[in-house]
Amino acid sequence: MRKEDVLTAVRRLSHKGGRPLKMGAALKYVKENVFTAASGSRYKQNVPQVLVVLSSGPSSDSVDLPVASLKENNVTILTIGTKNSDHKEMGKISHAPSYALSVSEMAELPHLQEQVVAAMREEKMKNEISKTEVIVERKPTGKDVVFLLDGSEDTRSAFRAMRDFVQTVVETLSVDDNKDRVSVVQYSRDPAVQFYLNTYTTKGEILDTVRGLSHKGGRPLNTGAALQYLRDNVFTASAGSRRQEGVPQVLVLLSGGRSFDRVNEPASALKQMGVQTFAIGSRRSDREELQTISHDPSNALFVSEFTDYPNVQQQLQSSMEAVVTDVTAESPTGPVDTAKKDIVFLLDGSDGTRRGFPAMRDFVERAVEKLNVEQNNDRVSVVQYSRDPAVQFYLNTYATKEDIVDSVRGLKHRGGTPLNTGALSKWQWLTSIQ
């Protein structure tokens, strides 16, 4: 209970040793055994809970579920990694991008002391402010949830597992009090609506219908056409969508293979509407394709077999609970934060710029060096195009200037003809770069 005792105990620490590095298991252990009232945690008294993770390598197990569980319990996580750490993993663990710090070697940790202390003070201030706020009873915001199921021939043996997974997720929703609404669409060559968002008003009716679903069958798998169909026919007021009332729109895609048609444009159109898409694929799925479809690349989940769906259920549920309204408006309202900028570089990658591409790349690098990327102030995206555009990285792909500069230095010339600058408005890239 005294600072002197704590310091003495820290000085006596000896190195544990051993392999491999299981950060996921460690985070789970901390949540279940340390951040508890029995171990001295005062979370029930609204005392801020802070976890500082020091790591010098990538984890050998998954960190997703334990991190989601800690954040759900309002534990603020700061991470400090070295050059050998998986920086994307450390960013995922952290409370926010600015809470993911790094050093070249552990010997440089003293240089970060002020940043860590400042972050802890910030959490304390947030807590003090929250104590002074008037407590207002807030009813949970409902969601409109659409399940899009791959009903092609490749999922015939797996359809029971897909159906069971939908039932399990629906069990967690608040349907009976009209907070949550559910729709199910099955597709292969063409989509087929099993029921709309306004078809059923009770959880029992939805579960009964889901249990009775039969496999659609058919080839090929046209995911792009199915996404477009949802935009035009399911996420609409006439089909029960409450998007215009500000109710969050959620799409859960279960896919067992690669699409035969293009998914980029319909996926971008859904994102522009504010639909939060979670994609779950199997080992036969195209990882990059599902990450493109998802609202955020981290919303693309994967299982080895369809029977492994329960392994990602908690992660999906935690992510869905965190969904907030994200409906795109024609123009921003309220005061504009001039301290922050979202900057997109659109580079001519056609055959005519092959010799000049290194100079273009250097120009972008120098411009980025002058931006304030850290603390989530400025964000940067790069798109290269000729006949068609190709996103090199999105506005939310990188959270540090170093990562952006490294990616820019590694850009390769795209090539191709003709140069279709005007076609970019059709692709709506600026609204899809999330």
- In the chain, the domains with their CATH numbers are 3-132 (3.40.50.410), 144-321 (3.40.50.410), 341-432 (3.40.50.410)
**With pLDDT > 70 as the criterion, what percentage of the chain qualifies?**
82
- Strands (E) located in 215-333: 249-255, 275-281, 300-302
Under the banding of pLDDT at 50, 70 and 90, the label for residue 119 is low
Residues in contact with 89: Cβ distance below 8 Å, sequence separation at least 6, in sequence order: 23, 58, 59, 63
pTM of the model: 0.46
Separation between Cα atoms, residue 74 and residue 72, nearest integer Å: 5
Helix 357-369 × helix 401-409 angle, to 10°: 170
Q: What is the pLDDT of residues 335-361, one digit of tens each?
A: 445 567 889 989 998 998 898 889 889
Largest separation between any pair of C-alpha atoms in the chain: 71
Specify the range with the lowest mean pLDDT, choosing from 135-144, 159-168, 181-190, 231-240. Answer: 135-144
Helices 159-171 + 203-211 axis angle, to 10 = 170
Mean pLDDT, the chain, as a whole number?
Answer: 81
Helices assigned H by DSSP within 172-308:
203-211, 223-233, 264-273, 287-293
Of residues 278, 294, 322, 311, the one with CA closest to residue 165:
311
pLDDT of 408 strictly over 80: yes
Q: What pLDDT shows up at residue 313?
A: 67
pLDDT at residue number 114 = 66
pLDDT grade for 141, boundaries at 50, 70 and 90: low
pLDDT at 296 over 90: no
Sort strands 100-102 and 191-195 into parallel, antiparallel or unpaired. unpaired
Average pLDDT over residues 101-112: 76
- pLDDT greater than 90 at residue 185: yes
- Kindly state the average pLDDT of the residues 278-299: 83
Q: What would the mean pLDDT of 394-415 be, rounded to a whole number?
A: 89
Q: What is the dihedral of CA 393, 398, 402, 403, to 10 degrees?
A: -60
Assign 95 a pLDDT band (cuts: 50, 70, 90).
confident
Task: Evaluate if residue 111 carries a pLDDT over 50.
Answer: yes
Query: E strands, 99-248, where?
Result: 100-102, 144-150, 181-187, 191-195
CB 280 within 8 A of CB 312: yes
Is the distance from CB of 147 to CB of 166 less than 8 angstroms? yes
Question: Is residue 294 helix, strand or coil?
Answer: coil
**Which residue, chain included where needed, has tokens 């500082």?**
52
Torsion of CA 79, 82, 83, 87, to 10 degrees: -10
Query: What average pLDDT does this structure show over 208-221?
Result: 91
Check: CB of residue 75 under 8 Å from CB of residue 35.
yes
Nearest to 296 by CA among 256, 262, 325, 323: 323
Instruction: State pLDDT tens for residues 360-382.
Output: 899 899 888 888 887 778 899 99
Percent of the chain at pLDDT > 90 equals: 20
Mean pLDDT of 25-36: 88
The residues with which 342 forms a beta bridge, in sequence order, are: 379
Burial class (CB in 10 A: 0-12, 13-18, 19+), 64: buried
